[in-house]
Amino acid sequence: MVGQPGGDTVDSAHPAWSPALGHVLDLVTSWQCGSTVTAVFDVTADAYGRFMGRYSEQLAARFADFAGVAAPATALDVGCGPGALTAVLVDRLGDDGVAAVDPSPSFVAAAGARFPAVDVRRAPAEELPFGDDTFDAVLAQLVVHFMTDSLRGLAEMIRVARPGGTVAACVWDYAGRRSPLDPFWAAAHDVSPGVRDEAGLAGAREGHLVQLFAAAGMPGADRGELTVEVRYPTFDDWWEPYTLGVGPAGLHVASLPPQERDRLRERCRELLPAPPFTVRAVAHAARAVVPVPA
């Protein structure tokens, strides 16, 4: 969803070679063939922050509220990235009450430097380096859709949560065309028909997170929607983060020859309102309480 100047909101639904480019093209080929590529987030924390930080920082507080995170408690941030959700958890629970993991070395380094007293480790969701029944809350913000195996990742989250504890996750509504990236992917489909977007990823459509929770061993999860808004003063402020190579969208931009990249940029400009404009994004969320043994 995209807002018109003045604050009104409208639906934004679809109306040069370098050595590094070879690596980018390999990743894009893997992505377009159906792989979920961890390496698409092997970028600096600054690049990710410029690309998604304005959304994830707002989302983190809403997500923590949805999960009912409050002291005294312990919490694990699964797929912490540079630490948007970690910051909220630390604010609520203190350094000693929070741990975080991410498979990206650059993100782990950034989160560790930002929160030196927090237990930050490099690990994928599918192999959490903690014992059973360790945390009161286990959260994954904007992560399930990029897990190599979403069911295994969720099962691991359940394993490390204490009986009576909460497991929660959220994913942008890509399938419903309410993600922050919706104008970009609409333009990409116009310029490059058949390009693979993120609508088919795990949890990215209504009700799918709840289905995944059930399949992982937690039926009857509650679900909700979390909404954030970001204001852009200029078109370039919106476009520039897409040139940083972050995620599938950034890889797609990096893979294009200059002329086609220019076409994509101008098509995005056509689909967006005249600046300043507001992008509204909605994430699907699910939460469940780990059963207490009888």
Reported as a single tens digit per residue, the pLDDT across 250-268 is: 999 999 999 999 999 999 9
Rounded CA gap, 282 and 243, in Å? 23
Q: How far apart are the first and last CA of the chain?
A: 46
Q: Taking 90 as the threshold, does the pLDDT of residue 6 lie above it? A: no
pLDDT for 41 equals 67
> 73's torsion region: left (phi>0), alpha (psi -120 to 50) or beta?
beta
Rounded CA gap, 272 and 266, in Å? 10
Q: What is the DSSP letter of 33?
A: T
**pLDDT (mean) for 148-165:** 97
**pLDDT (mean) for 93-112:** 96
Q: Which CATH superfamily is domain 2-289 in?
A: Vaccinia Virus protein VP39 (3.40.50.150)
Q: How far is CA 235 from CA 53, 230, 238, 262, 270, in A?
A: 17, 13, 5, 14, 10
pLDDT for 81 equals 94
Collapse the DSSP code of 188 into the 3-class scheme (helix H, G, I; strand E, B; otherwise coil) and give the result.
helix
Interior angle at CA 39, CA 36 and CA 43, nearest 5 = 130
More confident residue, 138 or 12: 138
Q: Taking 70 as the threshold, does the pLDDT of residue 23 lie above it? A: no
Q: What is the pLDDT of residues 166-206, one digit of tens each?
A: 999 999 999 999 999 999 999 999 999 999 999 999 999 99
Do the beta carbons of residue 81 and residue 89 sit within 8 Å?
no
pLDDT grade, residue 293 (50/70/90)? Answer: confident
Q: How far is CA 273 from CA 220, 229, 234, 235, in A?
A: 40, 15, 10, 9
pTM > 0.85:
yes
